[in-house]
Copies of this chain bind each other. A is one copy, B any other.
């Protein structure tokens, strides 16, 4: 099977740029530079796929090429299933991936249906065609670690600190670079040597070894000198952390990004090479799962032990705590917090989240132009400027050039009452209209955003009012994105924390320089982050209620919330 990534340039195969954008982003998700395993249509995060099968992929492309400007294509778990006439202001593509009725909403049923070819795991941005490679997560990881440093260390930096983690996959691969960008030292366990090599090739990781002793020595030396350093350790993450406990080598920070959300296809049990594990998984999946969960139990115990001895510990969104609590009855698992309540929720309350954009031209200059625009537009945002500088220096583009940064609401700061996201999107749209950018830019985001997700073990862990598991919110968010005119709207079950553990949404808005694009952008980038403000205001967060007041977000029963 041949696949080459997204078409680029200013000529289009489809009947309009909105359809073309969907086609390019789907192909970009499968670009060998971007996807972890494009032969299998796997983009990242265990088995997160962009399409259900190559047949389905071909059919999606054919539909997109043929789709009119007032038509809407329906994609059910990576397969095109219908097409209807709607209107210009409606989305061009509607996507629902991996969703199951509650009682059947678990991996067993999912795998049964997957085996019959009826469903696909969409992860977050895999099945919604919004993955932009490791870059997508890197700024989030950078921001999270920066916030951690602010909260935990006097220096407000990771300088001289050692972070121990595991997993150098599609998302986890961002960890070493985010640590070094924060001037720290990172030791990351990874069982798959190819992944380690890949991170080194792309500049995300500096060094590798299979000798933990060596890694620790190097780490200590760099940390002492206050210099950034990262090393991939070719071993199982659970074994590495257990050894740190045994040697009483306590890192400053401990976390993990192995694909623990999926005990069968994501996580590797201890005692196997990758090849041996893959064979065992094929031959005897039940034993594999049991051993996988045993390893996770030791893994979590090691994190708890390191925390006990002084390390700052947090879960990095892979549901490893939920897995061992559910399958091993380990209640202490939740004694270390998730990264969202610890470091991200305050941003969500203000509608701030990961805004990302992709240059459909394929031309890196287009992103450079947007980099300039965002820094011009927000001259007061020091962290943003620092991020853009670092990203330009250190982040290599994978597939279509793209950028990510966290933008918020703060409509209050704008004379026209525009949100930060809307203001920037309109600016890009003008640049496209003026020909300063070669082809349209498509704006999208992570499913992990302020108002787009219900995920009790991650994004909505420990909500103030206890509303963690209520899924009305992401459903309203998807409907509202549709009402506001996003060009692609998706709803996924599972994602980073596994089937039945989360519901979340995505959107795309194509900025082609037209008035219609401006209209859509103004609305979507008000309503979508606005849902973050509304959702957290409803849960009683003061920051969200303040933001709503300052930015004029109507909260119908707000007097009753305080």
A residues in contact (CB < 8 Å) with B: 55-56, 59-60, 62-63, 72-74, 76-77, 79-87, 89-91, 94, 96-106, 109, 113, 116, 118-119, 454-456, 465-473, 475-476, 478-480, 482-485, 489, 491, 493, 499-503, 519, 523, 526-527, 530-531, 534-535, 538, 553-557, 560
By secondary structure, the A interface counts as mixed
Contact partners of A469 in chain B: CB under 8 A? 100-101, 103-105, 109, 113
Pick 23 A–B contacts, CB within 8 A, sort by A.
A59-B557, A76-B476, A83-B556, A84-B527, A87-B89, A87-B523, A90-B485, A94-B479, A96-B472, A96-B479, A100-B469, A100-B470, A102-B106, A102-B493, A103-B105, A103-B501, A105-B471, A113-B466, A116-B465, A118-B466, A475-B475, A479-B489, A479-B491
Residue in contact with A557 in the complex, picked from B55, B480, B538, CB distance below 8 Å: B55
- B90 adjacent to A454 (CB under 8 Å): no
- B82 adjacent to A553 (CB under 8 Å): yes
Chain B residue nearest to A122 (CB atoms) is B472
Chain B residue nearest to A548 (CB atoms) is B82
Q: Nearest Cβ distance between residue A491 and chain B, in whole angstroms?
A: 5
Residue in contact with A483 in the complex, picked from B90, B454, B465, CB distance below 8 Å: B90
Chain B residue nearest to A531 (CB atoms) is B82
- B113 adjacent to A483 (CB under 8 Å): no
The winner among A63, A82, A97 for most chain B CB atoms within 10 A is A82
The winner among A83, A104, A466 for most chain B CB atoms within 10 A is A104
Chain B residue nearest to A72 (CB atoms) is B483
Complex formed: what's the CA distance from A94 to B531 in Å?
13
Contact partners of A73 in chain B: CB under 8 A? 556
Contact partners of A557 in chain B: CB under 8 A? 55-56, 59, 79-81
Residue in contact with A456 in the complex, picked from B101, B466, B468, B502, CB distance below 8 Å: B101
Complex formed: what's the CA distance from A483 to B91 in Å?
7
- A455 adjacent to B101 (CB under 8 Å): yes
Top 4 A-B residue pairs of the complex, sorted by shortest distance between their CB atoms = A102-B105, A102-B500, A104-B469, A96-B472
- A484 adjacent to B62 (CB under 8 Å): no
- B479 adjacent to A530 (CB under 8 Å): no
Q: Nearest Cβ distance between residue A234 and chain B, in whole angstroms?
A: 34
- A472 adjacent to B99 (CB under 8 Å): yes
Q: Nearest Cβ distance between residue A418 and chain B, in whole angstroms?
A: 12
Residue in contact with A556 in the complex, picked from B81, B475, B483, CB distance below 8 Å: B81
Q: A79-B557, A82-B553, A97-B472 are in contact. List 11 more A-B contacts (CB 8 A).
A: A55-B557, A81-B534, A82-B476, A87-B485, A91-B479, A101-B503, A103-B500, A113-B467, A118-B467, A471-B493, A479-B479
